Structure 1
């Protein structure tokens, strides 16, 4: 895979982690997630 694509995917992963990590537990609950789910959701953006 090309290095630019890898970098873009990594940035998407970090952005997702930061955005979801910044939400309150109540906000996460409203969208059906827990803190434990954040990494799994972010990992899907990395694939």
Structure 2
């Protein structure tokens, strides 16, 4: 059961990170050193 809960929490953290980064302008992302195409990869790394 805790494995499933952990997977769900990781997915929710991933989704939240994608949404937050996607809301940023290209300029804001550039200031952070992130390109729009990297958002999902970065979110996956954050969700682990």
TM over 0.5: yes
The residue aligned with 1:40 is 41
Q: Aligned Cα RMSD in Å?
A: 1.2
Task: Compute the displacement of 1:8 (Å).
Answer: 0.5
If each structure's helix is expressed as a fraction of its own residues, which one has the higher value?
2
Q: Partners of 1:4 and 1:24 in 2: how far apart?
A: 33
Superposition map of 1:19-34 within 5 A: 19-34=20-35
Identify unmatched segments of 5+ residues in structure 1: none
Q: Partners of 1:24 and 1:46 in 2: how far apart?
A: 22
Moved more, 11-20 or 37-46: 37-46
TM-score (normalised: structure 2): 0.88
Q: Partners of 1:4 and 1:33 in 2: how far apart?
A: 30
TM-score (normalised: structure 1): 0.90
